[in-house]
Amino acid sequence: MAVVRHIFVSASGEVLPRWREAFPKAVGRRFGEAVSPDSGFVVVWWRLPAGKGVESIADVRTTLAADVPIIVLSDMPGDDEAEACFAAAVRGYGNTHSVPALLKQIADVVAQGGLWIGESLMQRLLRGVAQIPPPAPIAQPAVWDELLTEREREVAQVVAAGASNKEIARELGITERTVKAHVGAVLDKLGVRDRLQLALVVNGHRRN
């Protein structure tokens, strides 16, 4: 696999800590700044603020060589927006605050010619109508499991089985406060917003 260079384009031009963690040599650019890579295989990451349209992505698409993939990181992911991004020849669409391991995964998939697209959007495209809500983030077992500490994993699994914080506390012999701390850490690490989506991630990849 050739070395891949990562360019993060955003309003501020900064490289968020998570992005930097995933790609230590990532470069930041502001909207409007030249993004043309001078050499090597490049992946352009486009940060999309909430509520912003995707017209600018289509614009920058025309300024880049066809072999430079664009991955959009959205502050507020949604299927409508994702669909518009893919229509603008984007190769991947994710959450601005995704964990570094997931960012790397997305980059790897896209660098190899694959698409990173939420299941719900795929279903929606196949049906031609919007029937399914915003996607639960896709995380493979090898990822979500490995991202967590033993305790966090334990809590995640009990959550995914349907337990409330109070029930988890009782079951694990800790306070509800600690449960919340672990749940919060798990949500953060996996880049999901609430326990329901956490359960989707955990249960989607477990044998029964």
Partner DNA sequence: TTCCTTCCTGTACTTCGGTACAGTAGCCAG
Partner DNA sequence: CTGGCTACTGTACCGAAGTACAGGAAGGAA
Residues near its own copies (CB under 8 A) are: 1-2, 41, 65-67, 83, 86-87, 105-106, 108-117, 120, 122-123, 125-128, 130, 132-136, 138-143, 157-159, 161-164, 167-168, 171, 194-197, 199-200, 203-208
* Contact call for residues 106 and 94 (beta carbons, < 8 A): yes
Binding partner at 184 among DNA, its own copies, none, C-beta below 5 to 8 Å by kind? DNA
β-bridge mates for residue 7, sequence order: 27, 44
What is the gyration radius of the CA atoms in the chain, in angstroms?
18
Contacts of 143 (CB under 8 A, 6+ apart): 101, 102, 105
To the nearest whole angstrom, how small is the minimum distance from the Cβ of residue 136 to DNA? 13
Task: Kindly report the backbone phi and psi dihedral angles of residue 117, in degrees, each rounded to the nearest multiple of 5, phi listed first.
Answer: -140, 135
- Judged by CB under 7 A, which stretch of 54-62, 69-77, 110-118, 170-178 contacts DNA? 170-178
The nearest distance, CB 150 to its own copies, in angstroms, is 13
Structure tokens at 76: 């507020």
First CA to last CA across the chain, in angstroms?
Answer: 36
Residues at the contact surface with DNA, assessed by CB under 7 A: 149-152, 164-166, 172, 174-178, 180-184, 187-188, 193-196
